[in-house]
Structure 1
Amino acid sequence: MISLSAVQKSYSSDVAIGPVDLKIPTGGITAMVGPNGAGKSTLLTMIGRLLGLDAGAIEIAGYDVASTASKDLAKIVSILRQENHFVTRLTVRQLVGFGRFPHSKGRLTRDDEEIISRSIDFLNLNELENRYLDQLSGGQRQRAYVAMVLAQETDHVLLDEPLNNLDMKHSAQMMQLLHKAARELGRTIVIVLHDINFAGHYADHICAVKDGKVIEFGTPAEIMTDEVLSRVFDTPVTVIDGPRGPLAVYY
């Protein structure tokens, strides 16, 4: 479980996060949704200790995020931010190998190589593993980054808008792979999403964030309603019955 207790972060008198109290269940996918500037990515980066807290506490699987040693925290939680800029020219396999650093400290063992190969296989990158990142499409490159995070083999995975710059087809493929990772690999995945319909279809829980606060948390059935979504996004939203579940329609 990921637990946030009275978490706060202030940037100015007008811009602040919290206080946030939140419990993210173990297992499955929890999607963070909300309007631009709501604080979704900030909350995620605080959970991953890439941003400090002004007040409160965050625990992951009982470990205090603020006080746990980095080498130990890296074996509990992995995070993929939006900004992925590698200056060095890397192949897909080299990139995925970085996910093993908390375990290998740069000296890859046979076990590490097997885990790297499994992660590459899981993200359907076998034919691309010796290609350089700058030779890949945006969707292929994004899959490579997710493979790197999965290779870290943490029970908790944090993904900040992994569908950014992906078209509809590749976004759906990515969500299918993440859904598979949660189910088959037993990962707890927390993901920031802009598309509420992807959240409604693939997530087990949805966390709605607005003005730096969590205003709703529940199952897709509980969150995917006209009233809740209209209030979260400050625009009229109608939820209809789609072929695979509820769909949000807005104008």
Structure 2
Amino acid sequence: MITLDGITKRYDDVTVLDDVCLTVPDGKLTALVGPNGAGKSTLLSIASRLLPTDAGTVHLDGMDVLTARDTEVAQRLAVLRQDNRVAARLSVVDLVRFGRFPYCRGRLRAEDHAAVAEALAYMELDDLRDRYLDQLSGGQRQRAFIAMVLAQDTDHVLLDEPLNNLDMRHAVQMMRRLRDLVTTRGKTVVVVLHDINFAAAHADHVVAMRDGRVVAAGTPQQIVCTDVLQAVYDLTVPVHHVEDQPVAVYFS
């Protein structure tokens, strides 16, 4: 279980996160939702130690994430940032191999190659394994980076906007794969999403943020409702139910 307590982040006189307290349940798919500037990506970066916090603590099953050794954290928690840039010209398979670095320090063993092969197959990248990243579409690159994260094979997976650059078909497939990681592999997955309906359809737990604070957290049925969406987005959003699933509809 990931527990964040009193997380505060400021840039000069701008408070990005304001005393955020949050518990991410184990074995669930948790979606962070909210408008631009709500603090979702910053919170995810602090939870994964990519960004220092000005105040507060992060614990993962009792481990202090902010002070633990790099290898210890990397073997228990994997993260995909929103802005993925690679300076070197890498093939897909070489990128995915980086996911095994916490275990083999670059000297891949049989089990590491097996984990890479499984991640490539899971993300349907076998046909692209030898293609260079700069030869791929944006959606293909996104799938390659997620395969790298999956090859790391941690119990906790944090993904910042994993649907970036994906068309509708691949976005749906991605959420189904993340759902499968939770349901059949027992992973704990946390995703930052902009589409509230993807969160409603696939998440177990939804955290709605605004202005650096958690407005509400709960099941999709509790969060995807007119009152909460009004508080989060400043919009009156009609919510309908399709097969008992909430669907937010907004046209103008």
Query: TM-score per shorter chain, which class?
Result: over 0.9
Which residue is 1:148 aligned to? 148
Which residue is 1:124 aligned to? 124
Distance in 1 (CA, whole Å) between partners of 2:16 and 2:137 is: 37
Q: Deviations over 1:186-211 (max 9, x none)?
A: 21111000000000001110000111
Which residue is 1:185 aligned to? 185
Q: Deviations over 1:128-162 (max 9, x none)?
A: 11111122222221111111001101111110111
Q: Deviations over 1:96-115 (max 9, x none)?
A: 10000000100000110011
Q: Does 1:25 align with 2:19?
A: no
Distance in 2 (CA, whole Å) between partners of 1:65 and 1:209 is: 22
Distance in 2 (CA, whole Å) between partners of 1:225 and 1:199 is: 13
Q: Measured at CA, do residues 64 and 239 of structure 1 come closer, stay the same or move farther in structure 2, by a change above 3 Å?
A: same
SS at match of 1:15: strand
Cα contact 2:230–2:237 (8 A) shared by 1: yes
Q: Does 1:87 align with 2:84?
A: no
Q: CA deviation at 1:16?
A: 3.2
Q: Deviations over 1:206-237 (max 9, x none)?
A: 00011101110101011111111111111111
RMSD: 1.2
For structure 1, which runs of at least 5 residues remain unmatched after alignment? none
- List, as ranges, runs of 4+ consecutive aligned residues in structure 1 with deviation greater than 4 Å: none
For structure 2, which runs of at least 5 residues remain unmatched after alignment? none
User: Aligned AA for 2:192?
Assistant: V
Cα contact 2:221–2:245 (8 A) shared by 1: no
User: Aligned AA for 2:142?
Assistant: Q
SS at match of 2:45: helix
What percentage of aligned pairs have identical amino acids?
Answer: 50
Q: CA deviation at 1:80?
A: 0.5
Cα contact 2:125–2:144 (8 A) shared by 1: yes
Which residue is 2:200 aligned to? 200
Give the TM-score normalised by the residue count of structure 2: 0.96
SS at match of 1:119: helix
Distance in 2 (CA, whole Å) between partners of 1:107 and 1:28 is: 33
Give the TM-score normalised by the residue count of structure 1: 0.96
Q: CA deviation at 1:84?
A: 1.0
SS at match of 1:174: helix
Aligned residues: 251
Distance in 2 (CA, whole Å) between partners of 1:152 and 1:95 is: 12
